Amino acid sequence: MTQEQILTIFNETGALLQGHFQLTSGLHSPQYFQCAKVLQHPRHTTQLCAHVAQHFSGAKVDVVIAPAIGGIVVGQEVGRVLNARTVFAERKDGVLQLRRGFELKPGERVLVCEDVVTTGGSVFEVIDIVRACGSTLAGVGFVVDRSGGSVRFPVEKRDDQFALLQMSVQTHEPETCPLCRNGLPLVKPGSRGNK
Protein backbone atom coordinates (compact mmCIF):
# COMPACT_ATOMS: atom_id res chain seq x y z
CA MET A 1 0.00 0.00 0.00
CA THR A 2 1.20 3.49 -0.72
CA GLN A 3 1.22 6.29 1.84
CA GLU A 4 -1.45 8.05 -0.24
CA GLN A 5 -3.74 5.00 -0.18
CA ILE A 6 -3.44 4.74 3.60
CA LEU A 7 -4.15 8.45 4.06
CA THR A 8 -7.18 8.09 1.80
CA ILE A 9 -8.54 5.35 4.08
CA PHE A 10 -8.00 7.55 7.15
CA ASN A 11 -9.70 10.51 5.49
CA GLU A 12 -12.62 8.51 4.10
CA THR A 13 -13.36 6.96 7.52
CA GLY A 14 -13.04 10.29 9.34
CA ALA A 15 -10.06 8.95 11.26
CA LEU A 16 -7.66 11.83 10.58
CA LEU A 17 -8.96 14.60 12.80
CA GLN A 18 -8.03 18.28 12.66
CA GLY A 19 -8.24 20.61 15.67
CA HIS A 20 -6.42 20.82 19.03
CA PHE A 21 -5.67 17.50 20.69
CA GLN A 22 -3.87 16.26 23.76
CA LEU A 23 -2.06 13.08 22.82
CA THR A 24 -1.48 10.14 25.14
CA SER A 25 2.10 11.42 25.53
CA GLY A 26 0.74 14.71 26.95
CA LEU A 27 1.89 16.66 23.89
CA HIS A 28 -0.57 18.82 21.95
CA SER A 29 -1.13 18.52 18.21
CA PRO A 30 -3.36 19.98 15.47
CA GLN A 31 -3.89 16.45 14.07
CA TYR A 32 -5.08 13.23 15.64
CA PHE A 33 -5.10 9.74 14.12
CA GLN A 34 -8.14 7.94 15.54
CA CYS A 35 -7.24 4.46 14.31
CA ALA A 36 -10.35 2.99 15.94
CA LYS A 37 -12.44 4.72 13.26
CA VAL A 38 -10.48 2.85 10.58
CA LEU A 39 -10.29 -0.45 12.46
CA GLN A 40 -14.06 -0.58 12.99
CA HIS A 41 -14.22 -1.64 9.34
CA PRO A 42 -13.03 -5.27 9.03
CA ARG A 43 -11.89 -4.82 5.42
CA HIS A 44 -9.54 -1.99 6.46
CA THR A 45 -8.31 -3.89 9.52
CA THR A 46 -7.55 -6.93 7.39
CA GLN A 47 -5.88 -4.91 4.65
CA LEU A 48 -3.69 -2.74 6.91
CA CYS A 49 -2.69 -5.43 9.39
CA ALA A 50 -1.92 -7.93 6.63
CA HIS A 51 0.80 -5.57 5.41
CA VAL A 52 2.28 -5.33 8.91
CA ALA A 53 2.13 -9.13 9.28
CA GLN A 54 3.67 -9.64 5.84
CA HIS A 55 6.65 -7.50 6.84
CA PHE A 56 7.30 -9.86 9.79
CA SER A 57 6.39 -13.11 8.03
CA GLY A 58 9.98 -14.37 8.18
CA ALA A 59 10.59 -13.31 11.80
CA LYS A 60 9.35 -16.60 13.36
CA VAL A 61 6.97 -14.79 15.73
CA ASP A 62 5.59 -16.91 18.60
CA VAL A 63 3.56 -14.20 20.31
CA VAL A 64 2.17 -10.78 19.39
CA ILE A 65 1.70 -8.30 22.24
CA ALA A 66 0.03 -4.89 22.12
CA PRO A 67 -0.61 -2.11 24.62
CA ALA A 68 -4.26 -1.60 25.52
CA ILE A 69 -6.44 -0.05 24.30
CA GLY A 70 -5.41 1.22 20.88
CA GLY A 71 -3.07 -1.57 19.91
CA ILE A 72 -5.34 -4.50 20.77
CA VAL A 73 -7.15 -4.73 17.42
CA VAL A 74 -3.91 -4.32 15.45
CA GLY A 75 -2.15 -6.94 17.58
CA GLN A 76 -5.02 -9.40 17.31
CA GLU A 77 -5.25 -9.16 13.52
CA VAL A 78 -1.48 -9.32 12.99
CA GLY A 79 -1.37 -12.33 15.31
CA ARG A 80 -4.19 -14.00 13.36
CA VAL A 81 -2.38 -13.54 10.06
CA LEU A 82 0.92 -14.80 11.54
CA ASN A 83 -0.89 -17.63 13.37
CA ALA A 84 0.75 -16.43 16.60
CA ARG A 85 -0.67 -16.34 20.11
CA THR A 86 -1.83 -12.79 20.89
CA VAL A 87 -1.89 -11.00 24.26
CA PHE A 88 -2.10 -7.43 25.46
CA ALA A 89 -0.72 -5.35 28.30
CA GLU A 90 -3.00 -3.01 30.19
CA ARG A 91 -2.55 -0.28 32.75
CA LYS A 92 -2.93 -0.88 36.45
CA ASP A 93 -1.94 1.96 38.76
CA GLY A 94 -0.55 3.80 35.73
CA VAL A 95 1.83 1.01 34.69
CA LEU A 96 1.45 -1.31 31.70
CA GLN A 97 1.51 -4.95 32.78
CA LEU A 98 0.35 -8.39 31.81
CA ARG A 99 -2.94 -9.33 33.47
CA ARG A 100 -5.82 -11.78 32.84
CA GLY A 101 -3.46 -14.74 33.10
CA PHE A 102 -1.40 -13.63 30.09
CA GLU A 103 2.27 -14.54 30.15
CA LEU A 104 5.35 -14.48 27.99
CA LYS A 105 7.83 -17.31 28.31
CA PRO A 106 11.61 -17.15 28.22
CA GLY A 107 12.90 -17.58 24.69
CA GLU A 108 9.60 -16.84 22.95
CA ARG A 109 9.94 -14.51 19.98
CA VAL A 110 7.59 -11.59 20.57
CA LEU A 111 6.35 -8.96 18.11
CA VAL A 112 5.08 -5.72 19.64
CA CYS A 113 2.21 -4.09 17.72
CA GLU A 114 0.60 -0.67 18.14
CA ASP A 115 -1.84 1.51 16.24
CA VAL A 116 -0.16 4.95 16.45
CA VAL A 117 3.28 6.01 17.69
CA THR A 118 4.18 9.60 18.58
CA THR A 119 6.86 9.29 21.29
CA GLY A 120 6.65 5.51 21.59
CA GLY A 121 6.09 5.58 25.34
CA SER A 122 3.63 2.67 25.49
CA VAL A 123 5.72 0.57 23.10
CA PHE A 124 8.86 1.12 25.19
CA GLU A 125 6.89 -0.02 28.25
CA VAL A 126 5.76 -3.18 26.44
CA ILE A 127 9.33 -3.88 25.32
CA ASP A 128 10.37 -3.71 28.99
CA ILE A 129 7.72 -6.35 29.76
CA VAL A 130 9.04 -8.58 26.95
CA ARG A 131 12.58 -8.34 28.28
CA ALA A 132 11.56 -8.79 31.93
CA CYS A 133 9.91 -12.09 30.95
CA GLY A 134 13.11 -13.31 29.27
CA SER A 135 11.47 -13.29 25.85
CA THR A 136 13.15 -12.12 22.62
CA LEU A 137 11.98 -8.97 20.87
CA ALA A 138 11.28 -10.07 17.28
CA GLY A 139 10.28 -6.58 16.16
CA VAL A 140 7.89 -3.64 16.48
CA GLY A 141 5.11 -3.05 13.95
CA PHE A 142 2.52 -0.29 13.86
CA VAL A 143 0.09 1.39 11.53
CA VAL A 144 0.99 5.09 11.93
CA ASP A 145 4.33 6.65 12.85
CA ARG A 146 3.61 10.31 13.69
CA SER A 147 7.29 10.91 14.48
CA GLY A 148 8.47 10.78 10.88
CA GLY A 149 10.86 7.98 11.81
CA SER A 150 12.55 9.82 14.67
CA VAL A 151 11.36 7.32 17.31
CA ARG A 152 13.64 4.29 17.23
CA PHE A 153 13.00 1.19 19.28
CA PRO A 154 15.79 -1.11 20.53
CA VAL A 155 15.41 -3.72 17.79
CA GLU A 156 18.23 -5.82 16.45
CA LYS A 157 18.06 -4.64 12.85
CA ARG A 158 16.59 -1.45 11.40
CA ASP A 159 14.15 -3.56 9.38
CA ASP A 160 12.76 -5.03 12.65
CA GLN A 161 10.79 -1.78 13.09
CA PHE A 162 8.01 -1.17 10.59
CA ALA A 163 5.24 1.41 10.15
CA LEU A 164 2.72 1.43 7.32
CA LEU A 165 2.35 5.21 7.35
CA GLN A 166 5.16 7.53 8.37
CA MET A 167 4.52 11.25 8.82
CA SER A 168 6.08 14.12 10.72
CA VAL A 169 3.08 15.53 12.54
CA GLN A 170 3.51 18.75 14.46
CA THR A 171 3.45 18.44 18.26
CA HIS A 172 3.86 21.01 21.03
CA GLU A 173 4.67 20.98 24.72
CA PRO A 174 1.55 22.21 26.57
CA GLU A 175 3.45 25.22 27.95
CA THR A 176 4.40 26.49 24.48
CA CYS A 177 1.40 25.30 22.46
CA PRO A 178 0.25 27.97 19.93
CA LEU A 179 -3.17 26.31 19.78
CA CYS A 180 -3.61 26.92 23.51
CA ARG A 181 -2.44 30.53 23.09
CA ASN A 182 -5.06 31.00 20.37
CA GLY A 183 -7.77 29.70 22.69
CA LEU A 184 -8.71 26.63 20.64
CA PRO A 185 -10.60 24.11 22.81
CA LEU A 186 -8.46 21.12 23.81
CA VAL A 187 -9.80 17.61 23.09
CA LYS A 188 -8.39 14.49 24.79
CA PRO A 189 -9.48 11.60 22.55
CA GLY A 190 -6.93 9.00 23.72
CA SER A 191 -7.47 6.03 26.01
CA ARG A 192 -4.94 6.89 28.73
CA GLY A 193 -6.71 7.17 32.02
CA ASN A 194 -9.49 4.76 31.06
CA LYS A 195 -10.29 2.38 33.88
Residue spans of the domains in the chain: they are: 3-181
What rounded mean pLDDT belongs to the chain? 93
- As a 3-state breakdown, the chain gives helix, strand, coil percent values, each rounded to 5, of 30, 30, 35
**Geometric angle at alpha carbon 136, from 63 and 49, rounded to 5°:** 40
Over 90: is that where the pLDDT of 189 sits?
Answer: no
pLDDT of residue 195: 38
Which carries the bigger pLDDT value, residue 172 or residue 24?
A: 172
CATH code for residues 3-181: 3.40.50.2020
Closest C-alpha to 138, from 115, 156, 164, 163: 156
The model's pLDDT over 91-116, given as tens digits with 9 standing for 90+, comes to 999 899 999 999 999 999 999 999 99
pLDDT of residue 191: 58
Closest C-alpha to 62, from 30, 85, 28: 85
Over 90: is that where the pLDDT of 24 sits?
Answer: no
The model's pLDDT over 126-148, given as tens digits with 9 standing for 90+, comes to 999 999 999 999 999 999 998 88
Name the band, by pLDDT with cuts 50, 70 and 90, for residue 179: very high
> Are residues 187 and 172 in contact, defined by beta-carbon separation less than 8 angstroms?
no
pLDDT of residue 25: 81
Q: Are strands 136-145 and 161-166 parallel, antiparallel or unpaired?
A: parallel
What's the rounded Cα separation, in Å, for the pair 147 and 165? 10
